[in-house]
């Protein structure tokens, strides 16, 4: 059986977890958390990176820092994971979904202005598959209408738009280190804060509403409760696992890219024959090989392909059911404009197995079976 995903493991993870245990500190904000956040800050150039317990929680923090209030509107794609929406629903916001570009599955920036009302507070671009959204246009529109931009860069670690790291372009950026993402700590994430005026607020929010971060830096001699907060900091055990991955970030990226490129080259002939469609990477972006997907003719063909591959021992998955057509999506949001591509394209998309350390023979087998399906279909 060829798995769809295997969590990344590079070899040093257990050594670092052991080190964390031996250091006598396994709660949050120890040496490994510090190493990871400084790595993100230095490599990607952001004012502040704070590790969180998940990307969902990073988005929640961003929604709180953006002071989203009941009745405010937030614009996002319907084709995304539920977390992009949940964070704003929690604060009583109304979701306004807009359509996507069929080539990248990213929010169509040309539809944003039509969706903006006097209640709009923020735009949430989701960098699907680690392929950057059209951020230059999005930032221009946000500036013109005084909106905040919260990037859901869960899939975008180590990916770039016009040379800038995804997650560092908007006001806030949210990363995921879930086991299905390129770099992992089991469950975890990070919030990237670009504007200095939000940094201290973010630290307080993450540490139960206390100024404990300032205390640890020696800036004050005791810490107190200063504002509303929660507990968004991961344990050192998780951070130790992540550090082993970040240290090998290029090795992981190159390995994933080898599989991505292999799929892309091997499936060119099927695309030329009109059997399937391959992902499109716009010229301004550098993707991170987070995902390889194909598009079938329609839902029926995808269903047949999934069961064909399953019979051949290959596990492939699809996502997402568009949020606007789900029970909660209907309750909390509305679709602005016409759903030209969201539903149609989501029904065609199929993700192929892709993970760190995938064997050459396995990826070859996957492309052979795809060829067999289209020969015999
Ligand atoms: C994975 C993912 C999330 C959630 O990440 P967690 O770390 O599991 O909370 C949010 N948005 C997108 C687009 C994702 O792919």
pLDDT > 90? residue 294: yes
56 lines ligand 1 (CB under 6 A): yes
Strand order in the sheet with 94-98: 48-52, 189-193, 172-176, 148-152, 120-123, 73-77, 94-98, 333-335
Question: What mean pLDDT is predicted for residues 234-252?
Answer: 98
Query: Chain-wide mean pLDDT for the chain?
Result: 97
Note whether 13 and 240 are within 8 A (CB). Answer: yes
> In testing the pocket of ligand 1, which one of 52, 53, 56 has its CB within 8 Å of the most ligand atoms?
56
Q: Please determine, for residue 178, whether its predicted confidence score (pLDDT) is greater than 80.
A: yes
Q: Could you tell me which residues come within 8 angstroms of residue 49 by beta carbon, excluding any fewer than 6 positions away?
A: 37, 38, 40, 41, 190, 191, 192, 193
Cα 215 to ligand 1 centre (Å): 31
Please compute the mean of the pLDDT values over residues 337-364 and round it to a whole number: 98
Per-residue pLDDT reduced to its tens digit, 318-340: 999 999 999 999 999 999 999 99
Alpha carbon distance 372, 377 (integer Å): 8
Number of other CB atoms surrounding residue 220 within 10 Å:
13
Above 80 in pLDDT, residue 377?
no
The mean pLDDT of 344-356, rounded to a whole number, is 98
Q: Give the percent of the chain with pLDDT over 90.
A: 99
Which atom of ligand 1 lies closest to the CA of 58? 9
What are the residues facing 140 on neighbouring strands? none
Cβ neighbours of 280 (radius 10 Å): 11
- What does the pLDDT read at residue 28? 95
Angstrom distances, CA of residue 143 to CA of 121, 140, 170, 320: 12, 5, 11, 30
Q: Is 173 in the pocket of ligand 1 (CB under 6 A)?
A: no
Q: Residue 70: count other Cβ atoms within 10 Å of its Cβ.
A: 8
Which residue do the tokens 């209408």 mark?
Answer: 145
Cα of 83 vs centre of ligand 1, distance in Å, is 6
Taking the C-alpha atoms of residue 137 and residue 142, their distance in angstroms, rounded to an integer, is: 9
Pocket of ligand 1, candidates 81, 86, 179, 184: which has the most ligand atoms within 8 Å of its Cβ, to mutate?
81
Please report how many Cα atoms fall inside a 13 Å half-sphere around the Cα of residue 277, on the Cβ side. 17
Question: What's the CA gap between 215 and 200, in Å, rounded?
Answer: 12
What pLDDT does 75 receive?
98
Q: Mind listing the pLDDT tens digit for each residue in 107-137?
A: 999 999 999 999 999 999 999 999 999 999 9
For β-strands 160-161 and 148-152, DSSP reports them as unpaired
User: Tens digit of pLDDT for each residue in 210-241?
Assistant: 999 999 889 999 999 999 999 999 999 999 99
- Is 290 near ligand 1, meaning CB less than 6 Å away? no
Helices 31-44, 13-22: crossing angle, 10 deg rounding: 130
Interacting residues of 369 by C-beta distance below 8 A, sequence separation 6+: 308, 309, 312, 314
- Over residues 33-65, the pLDDT tens digits come to 999 999 999 999 999 999 999 999 999 999 999
- CA separation for the pair 49, 34 (Å, rounded): 10
Exposed, middle or buried, 358 (CB in 10 Å: 0-12/13-18/19+)? buried
| 1 pLDDT more than 90 | yes
Residue nearest to atom 2 of ligand 1 (CA): 154
Q: How far apart are CA 52 and CA 99, in angstroms?
A: 30
Check residue 129 and give its pLDDT. Answer: 98
Q: How far is the CA of 377 from the centre of ligand 1 (A)?
A: 35
- On whether the CB atoms of residues 226 and 212 are closer than 8 A, the answer is no
pLDDT of amino acid 376: 87
pLDDT band at 253 (very low <50, low <70, confident <90, very high): very high
pLDDT at 173: 98
Find the mean pLDDT for residues 100-106: 98
CB of 178 within 6 A of ligand 1: the answer is yes
Q: Which domains does the chain have, with CATH numbers?
A: 13-246 (3.40.640.10), 249-376 (3.90.1150.10)
- Whether the predicted pLDDT of 257 surpasses 80: yes
Please give the torsion angle defined by the CA atoms of residues 98, 99, 101 and 102, in that order, rounded to the nearest 10 degrees. 160
Compute φ and ψ for 295, nearest 5 degrees. Answer: -120, 130
pLDDT for 264 equals 98
């Amino acid at each position: 059986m060829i798995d769809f995903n295997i969590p990344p493991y590079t070899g040093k993870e257990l050594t670092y977890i052991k080190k964390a245990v031996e250091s006598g500190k396994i709660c949050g904000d120890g040496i490994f958390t510090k190493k990871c956040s400084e790595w993100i800050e230095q490599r990607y150039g952001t004012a502040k990176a704070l590790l969180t317990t998940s990307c969902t929680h990073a988005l929640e923090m961003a929604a709180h820092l953006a002071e989203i209030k009941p009745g405010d509107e937030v614009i996002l794609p319907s084709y995304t994971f539920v977390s992009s929406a949940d964070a704003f629903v929690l604060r009583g916001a109304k979701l306004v979904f807009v359509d996507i570009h069929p080539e990248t599955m990213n929010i169509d920036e040309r539809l944003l202005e039509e969706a903006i009302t006097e209640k709009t507070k923020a735009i949430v671009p989701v960098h699907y598959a680690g392929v950057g959204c059209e951020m230059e246009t999005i930032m221009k529109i946000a500036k013109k209408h005084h909106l905040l931009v919260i990037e859901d860069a869960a899939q975008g670690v180590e990916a770039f738009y016009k040379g800038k790291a995804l997650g560092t372009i908007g006001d806030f950026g949210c990363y995921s280190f879930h086991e299905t993402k390129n770099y992992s700590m089991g469950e975890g994430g990070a919030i990237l804060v670009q504007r200095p005026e939000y940094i201290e607020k973010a630290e307080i929010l993450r540490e139960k509403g206390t100024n404990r971060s300032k205390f640890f830096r020696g800036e004050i001699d005791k810490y107190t409760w200063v504002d509303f907060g929660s507990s968004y900091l991961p344990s050192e055990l998780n951070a130790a696992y992540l550090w082993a991955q970040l240290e090998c970030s290029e090795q992981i990226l190159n390995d994933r890219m080898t599989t991505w490129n292999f799929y892309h080259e091997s499936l060119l002939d099927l695309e030329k024959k009109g059997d399937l469609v391959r992902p499109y990477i716009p010229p301004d972006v550098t993707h991170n090989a987070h995902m390889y997907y194909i598009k079938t003719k329609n839902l029926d063909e995808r269903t047949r392909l999934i069961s064909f591959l399953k019979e051949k021992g290959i596990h492939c998955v699809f996502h997402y059911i568009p949020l606007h057509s789900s029970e909660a999506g209907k309750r909390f949001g509305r679709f602005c404009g016409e759903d030209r591509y969201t539903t149609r394209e989501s029904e065609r998309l199929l993700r192929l197995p892709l993970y760190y350390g995938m064997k050459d023979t396995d990826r070859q087998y996957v492309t052979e079976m795809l060829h067999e399906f289209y020969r015999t279909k």
